[in-house]
Amino acid sequence: MHRILVIDDVEDHRENLSEILALNGYHVLTAQNGKLGVEKAMKEKPDLILCDVRMPELDGFGVLQILSKHHNTSDIPFLYLTALSEQTDFRKGMALGADDYISKPFDTDLLLQSIERKLDKISRLRGASARNAPFEGFVNEAKALELLHDLSNNRELRHFPKKDVLFEEGKTPRYLYYIEKGAAKLYKTNSEGREFIIHISGPGEYLGYLPLDSNEHYLESAAILEPSYIRLIPRDDFQKLVFGDRDVNARFIKMLANHVAEQEQLLLDMAYNSVRKRVASTLVNLHDQNKSNIHFQRDDLAAVIGTAKETLVRTLSSFKTEGLIDISDGHIHILNLEKLRLMPN
């Protein structure tokens, strides 16, 4: 029996959808907001997700953005449900990777047909992958994750205070780092000593795996953004596992591909997006990483966005005046996530 997760903040809508799906032979899971929907999707891994767009706290766009970045949820068919028919919303949803977009009030037959098509398609794709022996290792995520968990389990857990440097560009790597709690920044430094932050990492992420896999020096530096607990995995142990198991190797190849794609998107944003759009997108991304209470140094935020600190401060002040954020004691509290997410360029 296929399992379908329904994410909608309106109780009547959830119950109506649940009844329709149950009568048609589906096992239904529900969540009353985006944050709970993300948690349930990661825990239960349903066969398909039906998600409302307009929800408080975390909207449908944010839900898909988070789930698409996680290996165990990125391939789940995702259908948006919305009362709006605006073309911009449709394009945004599909650009994020949604499989379909269904307007409310929906036709029950059309909804069920769309669900059946998506489930049939994903079943055929998975079946083809399972029959394709040379690529078998690339679809066995569960095994890879279990081995990686065993690798990081019981390793030295070290506390790093804010601003500590984990590793530096050009140095020889010794460890694979696993963030158990806290946050770190990956950055490069130009000839004038100015930092350009290329990624902010949080709990559950690995750092420093690129040079370990290629036997090269670090191409970037990493420093602690907030007090963190990080596990240190010796280089030799990491290499034995990666080169000794193709499932783990495939997992890190996917991580590398995501890393490259993220850098390409960052460069595109820097080239084509306005400062307001870049600041808004950065705040949204940090919120989607469960950092709704953002407390990074203004220098660090400016380095992520690729602008001067003074420009960042002016933009944040403008956002505060517009009621999009609140700033107190150095913390940025998001008040209107939806407007930030849909900030025009």
Mean pLDDT of the chain: 80
Mean pLDDT of 298-322: 87
Percentage of the chain beyond pLDDT 90 is 23
pLDDT of residue 15: 92
Asked whether residue 158 carries a pLDDT value surpassing 90, the answer given is yes
pLDDT of residue 120: 80
96 vs 48, which has greater pLDDT?
Answer: 48
The region of weakest confidence among 10-24, 138-152, 283-297 is 138-152
Asked whether residue 29 carries a pLDDT value surpassing 90, the answer given is yes
- Of 181, 186, 180, 190, which Cα lies nearest the Cα of 168? 186
CA angle (156, 159, 162) in 5-degree steps: 145
Asked whether residue 95 carries a pLDDT value surpassing 60, the answer given is no
Residue 215 has φ and ψ, to the nearest 5°, of 60, 40
- Name the pLDDT band for 268 (thresholds 50, 70, 90): low
Domains present along the chain, CATH in parentheses: 3-131 (3.40.50.2300), 141-259 (2.60.120.10), 273-341 (1.10.10.10)
- Name the pLDDT band for 242 (thresholds 50, 70, 90): confident
In which element (H, E) is residue 227 found? strand 221-234
133 vs 163, which has greater pLDDT?
Answer: 163
Helices and strands in the chain: count of H runs, count of E runs? 13, 14
- Name the pLDDT band for 103 (thresholds 50, 70, 90): confident
Is the four-CA dihedral 304, 306, 310, 311 of positive or negative sign?
Answer: negative
Report the C-alpha gap between 144 and 246 in whole angstroms. 9
Instruction: Kindly report the pTM of this predicted structure.
Output: 0.50
Mean pLDDT of 217-235: 91
Mean pLDDT of 155-164: 92
pLDDT of residue 278: 87
